[in-house]
Chains A and B, each alone.
Chain A
Amino acid sequence: MSKGHNSPFAIGAFTIAAGFLIGTSVILMNQMPGRAVTTTKVEASNSNEVKTMQLDNLRVSVNVPERFEQVIGIQYADFIGTEGKINISRIATDYDNLVDYLNEFDSLRNISTEEENSIQIDGYEAVSRKEIFGPNQPTEKSYKIYIEGWVYSMSTSDEPMYSYLDQMATSFRYLP
């Protein structure tokens, strides 16, 4: 055995000692004043689990399936699954209520609607409905929520995404 080789015993002792030192250091460092405090991100184990997404630019949070891809813009967010896409937008208006806004929305685009229901989401005036934009145009299921001069639109033209849209609308929270 040459001098340059370590014995298995020596390697094991070194590993234990190193582990002890590192562990002690971590504990001591965490006890030092002024140490940056962090919160740990919880990883989802199930692809159908949802996470709460805070969309700062839109000032809202929604629960979104973890597996959805996200495209976050300045004024919109797209959530994309294998079944399709859900869009959330924030739209400034000159109207002081949702009904007047929708009247203009419908007449400007010459659309018809189905299954329109007045509801409340997060305590705000809202409507759920299907929007039929005309021949050769997709039908969109949408939620529209009026908050302080803004209309939040959550919509999808992909039918398999309807249940996810419902889920996201239910979880919608305004973050003033």
Chain B
Amino acid sequence: MKKILLFLLFLFIVSFQSKVYAADVFKVADPMTILQPSVTGVGRVIWLKIFALQHAGGPMILSANPDGTGDMKVGDTIEISVTLQGTFNTKRFIYNSASPCLIRKDLAPTDLSSYFPKSGWYNIQIRILDWCGGAKQISSLYLIGGKIEPSAPQPFLDLPWDYEKKGLSFNQALLSMTSYFDHSYPLLSSGINESEDVSKQITTFEGEITNQKSYSSHDGYDYGRVAGATIGETVLAAAAGEATYVNSCNACGNMILIDHKNGYQTRYMHLQREGLIIDQPGERVEVMSRQPIGKVGATGNVIPSGDRGAHLHFMVIVDKNEDGNFNDNIPDGVTDPIGWRTETADPWSNYLFQQAGVSKSGNKSFYLYKNNLAIVSSELTLHGGEYVADRMKLIFPSGAVSQTSNLKLNLTPINQTTGSLSPIGPGLKAEAKDVLDNSVTQFNVPFTLEINFNGFDTSIYRDGSISIYSSQDGINWTKEVTDVDLVAKIARSEIDHFTYFVLMGERKDIDVPNTTHQIEGERGEDNWYRSDITLSFDAKDENGVGTDYTLYSVNNKEWQIYSEPLIFEEEGNYQVDYYSVDLSDNIEPIKTLKFNVDKSVPEMKMQFDSITKDIFFSGIDDNDVKIVQNPLPHRNNEIIISDLAGNILKVNLKEKISGSMAKVILRSLQYNSEDPVTLPDNILSINSRLEEQKLENRRLEQSFNIEGILRIKAIYKIFNDTTAIETDSLDEGLNTQTMIGLKLLQISTSKGILKYTLI
């Protein structure tokens, strides 16, 4: 009788099932407790399930949760037998969780992929056995086939720049992207081409398929001027982690990568060279969340090219294969930090592709920002409630409305203000509609509006001027009675109506700052300098709250924040644009300064002038020069050649003209204020007999001698129109040649020595 009862009990416990599953997640068992008969089991089967499933290929995981996680309680032993249909090859997996009986160890999530080597139908038998006696706990059991979806991570990111300083809310900044993450498909950094059917369109985070937004294949978000990520704006670490620098990607420009040690990496591209937290490839540095790591710039491939295209390309990558290397997860690990915010299937999450012969799939995107995307659309019931949109909180008491209404809260920028009134952060547009879709603008009893202005500098507002304002149309504003807690930075009003609200204060300072410049250097004519230049700015905010910062740009390059005097060492023409912003955000109009640095002293050249029949002196310089000849005693002359920057060459010489003969002896050269250079004995002689009566006698004899170094003679004869040239130099010895035409001997100075040229 006892055996019959045991058998019946066995039949009761064991559940024979033969169902067919075709989904990716197969629920094998619900949690249960099996009361073991008093007789200690000796490998007795206390639970059994037989079924078939169709496996689509890929991994197969056994776990307690349907997402591939969770340790499993499996009695004393679990046995899983797997047979591919049409074969006799059965593979068996066994796990003893109670060996010995007193020590139990749950079964961790287990990869059974090797038991399911290919796609197809499998017969599966799962048995749970008793060895130790006593009650048995069995947890949920799932077989998850194919791709296992990752679970949502804890949001950990901030937007990587100070958008609030620009008067933007998180929502406004986040949604002011100029280019989107393309969910169909973000292959940009991989070099894999999209198929033609999707090559001109993008799919945004909310499932909008459009060819009007930029740009197909983009794998991150671009933020620029509208988002407050203007050129030179400080880029902040979106979360703590380990930063590295990369400059090997031409299109990316200067790039900082941060490994957040949670399987995610963020990348920041097109940064300026200046201001990088590290700037050597291979360097590593730990960064805190919101620590400055660089400045928004236009390096790499930006459109439009140059400063106008400055923006921050911000992208996020998951280490999908968990090997600590993010580069091998491009593109399959790139992910949209705004997530996928629609019910339809995410094309990127389900995308299958080949990369270097390896089959890969796209990635699931989760919302990763710590701040909520604050678009409140909620029910306002008769019982009231609290509703939060970014920094705004509306607290409705019971009975504020007479019937349940739909409440919509949207942040909105407030631009239309008057006089010195200035918004402190964005405004709020609050709307409610009852069940008949009628607008509710007035409430039975007041609600409380709280606006948190923590993080805003209130010192720029007149004392007592901060208040909540309301408006029906967003244009005409009414000051509400407001309690302002300057310590907690919360403003609070009791209000019985909608629609627009904003916190405003009267700015103490509405005047723009004034920036002056000072140039130190050796100056020539207007805006010309002949030495290194030190340029400094001095910004004053008379009667204001003080200057916040000064920006400058040299030759239309990147804007930089001025911190110390600028030194210009290289010669060239410079244009420096600059302006300052005060702490009250008053922006000075751009001022422009132009100057030129020319540190090269002009040189002198001399040659016979066939028109004046005299020796002609001129200057050699890249720019205009002035030349002055001063007579000195004893038939000496001084020639002064000066350029626009005031660089001066003084040449001391002796000139003698007698009949057809003209002779010049150069004695010394003096460059600017340097010591004069005494020249070796030299003489340039010109004998012009071009006016002789007989044609065969008409000639021009030119000679130049440097004692012991050079002797050159050039005789031009008109009758055969040739110039016979004889040179005898220390270096090259004697050389003669005849050249057709008139060759003029030109002597020039060059950094303290004399050179000749035949022209």
Contacts and interface: CB of A to CB of B under 8 A. Distances in A.
Interface string A56-98: 1101000000000000011110100000000101011111000
Interface in B421-459: 429, 431, 434, 436-445
Nearest to A93: B178
Contacts of A34: 443-445, 496
Interface stretch (B219-227, B362-370, B733-741): B219-227
Nearest to A41: B437
Interface string A118-152: 00000000000001011011001010000001100
B401 A36 contact: yes
B444 A35 contact: yes
B63 interface: no
A108 B441 contact: no
A134 B303 CA distance: 22
Given A38-B439, A92-B224, A94-B311, A59 B213 contact: no
Contact of A104 (B303, B412, B474): B303
A41 B212 contact: no
Given A36-B401, A37-B441, A133-B211, A74 B341 contact: yes
B262 interface: no
A103 B172 CA distance: 26
Contacts of B412: 56, 59
Interface string B152-165: 00000000000000
Interface in B338-377: 341, 373, 375
B443 A108 contact: no
A109 interface: yes
A142 B438 CA distance: 33
B200 A57 contact: no
B215 A108 contact: yes
Category for how many chain A residues contact B: 35 or more
Contacts, number: 116
A87 B212 contact: yes
Given A38-B438, A89-B212, A108-B214, A133 B304 contact: no
A4 interface: no
Contact of A89 (B208, B442, B445, B496): B208
B375 A74 contact: yes
A18 to B, nearest CB: 22
Interface residues of B, number: 53
Q: Is the interface of B mostly helix, strand, loop or mixed?
A: loop
A36 B212 contact: no
A9 to B, nearest CB: 36
A98 B197 CA distance: 28
B416 interface: yes
Interface string B266-283: 000000000000000000
A51 to B, nearest CB: 12
Contact of B226 (A57, A75, A93): A93
A109 B211 contact: yes
Interface in B402-416: 402, 408, 410, 412-413, 415-416
B210 interface: yes
B320 to A, nearest CB: 28
A74 B442 contact: no
A57 B210 CA distance: 18
A176 B474 contact: yes
Contact of A92 (B177, B303, B304, B441): B177
Contact of A149 (B226, B436, B437): B226
Contacts of A41: 436-438
Contacts of B416: 176
A149 B178 CA distance: 10
B211 A140 contact: yes
B196 interface: yes
B508 interface: no
A94 B215 CA distance: 14
B408 A150 contact: no
A131 to B, nearest CB: 8
B206 interface: yes
Interface string B299-328: 000011000111100000000000000000
Contacts of B373: 74
A136 B308 CA distance: 34
A100 interface: yes
Contact of A56 (B206, B207, B410, B444): B410
A74 B178 contact: no
Given A36-B440, A133-B211, A137-B200, A149 B175 contact: no
A92 B436 contact: no
B553 to A, nearest CB: 16
B444 A36 contact: yes
Given A38-B436, A89-B213, A95-B308, 8 more contacts: A34-B443, A36-B444, A41-B436, A57-B375, A74-B341, A87-B208, A92-B224, A94-B225
20 contacts: A34-B496, A36-B401, A36-B442, A36-B443, A41-B436, A56-B408, A56-B410, A56-B431, A57-B410, A73-B208, A74-B175, A87-B208, A89-B208, A91-B212, A92-B176, A92-B177, A92-B226, A93-B224, A108-B215, A155-B212
